[in-house]
Structure 1
């Protein structure tokens, strides 16, 4: 048995809207409102394959700054990005959060605009 909250990333991937909203509320919004530096650090760290040096280079900061920010991210979200499971959860939260912020796009049939 597992708690439903322990399976948030899997639930999001299976299409659970409640899990998606929960991750956005618990991770994406707190990171976005905590300041751009934490959000950018989380993104750079995860997009760079969880490499401290790669994230520091991408952000043009010292690696110790990235370490400090990772600690702040854990304080804000409750997730430790140096843990593979937590990193996966935050990565999914960032993805669904970005999708939630984008305005809906109208679907169109390919080739429908051709005469």
Structure 2
């Protein structure tokens, strides 16, 4: 097969392979920018920095909210909510499938959050 490719393109296979592949850095960047089909419903942001950055990179900010997924267990929900509250995240939402068979989310009340994590309502 390698001989056939070389005959068709009239270029040695080694050059085709070297020139045909993108750099590994670009592949990592591309993977971080492409949203997978299974996550198309996420309303998340991708951040692109136009400057050299040396890993590990850490950007600190407090998100506005967290969303508990459809299959989040009660134990994991308690952990996520506790950590969110400790971090100062104000809003917690729970995913559900609505009557139109679409993914949706509702805001969990402060009273219910306190009940889940076992604290007093403020």
- TM-score w.r.t. the length of structure 1 is 0.21
Please identify the structure whose Cα radius of gyration is greater: 2
Give the structure with the higher percent strand.
2
- TM-score w.r.t. the length of structure 2 is 0.21
